[in-house]
Structure 1
């Protein structure tokens, strides 16, 4: 696990540079797209590189991490619509190239199985963007989630719903109680994981992720077992890291050819 501590604006550029390198070297790459606040700077930077430097996503496939259950197809906070607004409509993905789990399906377990099959059918995800919740969840794998879980329906904790209420006008009652989410084992199957976190509110979760024991109580800690994880954090999110100075020294001394 590589930990990079840098100013907030730099984190988005670093993640976007990793995506750009992958897509230019492998034009038919498969990306994993996250929602929430953490990846927005990445999407802004990718859209800029598309517009100004010709970065093309024409052959790229992309899969979303999760989706609310029951939100209307035209609801602005339905994650498929959020991804369309924040990145898909701003670059040149081909029609149908971005997929998400079907939170409106009449057969939710079947929709989850179909989503797993769709990811497997393209050879898996090459680079997965991630955020982390204040309680250590990744995607919507809440505390207590099986470390071997696959795409499934989950009940959201009150903490997660409170954290997400800002997207629903501050009204907790409008935040769905259920979602479909890639499982932890699904996420771990991606070849490169890039996790972004900013702000002091994420500091304890980042500390557990990087330096705590692997535990279902902090689901993100399973990432410690992945062979290629990049954790991008600002100073505030890194404030609980006991080895923060070492991470800074390590990144400063890193050979340029290694990339992320």
Structure 2
């Protein structure tokens, strides 16, 4: 695990963007990248999109979402893909042929299809205050899980319900690449900012590997880079 401390969000955005650019350009053949939605990577995508758009050097890059919250509305694209399109895929002008949507219809074949496509070269991950990553929340998946459907009832359904204005559109499950699937990616880049992420980063870096903190398994990956600002890194010893 490599830990990189940065002074602020601007530095994190630029460094992460340049790291992704370098990784994408390290191959001339197909490059498979899975990226995260959410607030943390917003600045990364603002830095990255204009450098990717209309640049044929990146035409070999294919994009994957690693989780999805569907809807009872069959015309709804999905929360994650909706956000990824808004944050990055549309601003970067990514051809739809290079966007591979993980859905409730194809999740059972996702790992096999990824293998046939050469596997994931890299994943850009965020981390939740509770130590979750992708859709691997505490108590929802096991370390041996590949891509799975996670049942959402009670508090979990309320949690995903915040993404919908109409409660009738909230599904009773979500889809996620499980820990085993994530660990199969060749390179992991995890970013975090703010004091609210400090405990989660401590568990990732210095804590034991335990299901209570799902991201703790990531420290066992052979190529994990953690990029954090000073606030998020305030509890770790590195």
TM-score, length-scaled by structure 1:
0.80
| C-alpha displacement of 1:100 | 2.2
Quick check: 1:147 aligned with 2:149? no
- In structure 2, runs of 5+ residues without a counterpart are none
The alignment partner of 1:202 has SS state of helix
Answer 1 or 2: which has greater helix percent. 1
Distance 1:162 1:240, change over 3 A: farther
In the alignment, the residues of structure 1 paired with residue 160 and residue 67 of structure 2 have an alpha-carbon distance, to the nearest angstrom, of 16
Distance 1:123 1:14, change over 3 A: same
Aligned residue number for residue 32 of structure 2: 30
| C-alpha displacement of 1:163 | 8.7
1:171-190 counterparts in 2 under 5 A? 176-190=171-185
- In structure 1, runs of 5+ residues without a counterpart are 106-110, 248-260
Quick check: 1:158 aligned with 2:131? no
The alignment partner of 1:11 has SS state of helix
Aligned residue number for residue 229 of structure 1: 224
Q: Root-mean-square deviation (CA), in Å? A: 2.6
In the alignment, the residues of structure 1 paired with residue 13 and residue 229 of structure 2 have an alpha-carbon distance, to the nearest angstrom, of 11
TM-score, length-scaled by structure 2:
0.87
Quick check: 1:132 aligned with 2:133? no
Quick check: 1:87 aligned with 2:82? no
Distance 1:76 1:41, change over 3 A: farther
| C-alpha displacement of 1:226 | 0.5
| C-alpha displacement of 1:141 | 0.8
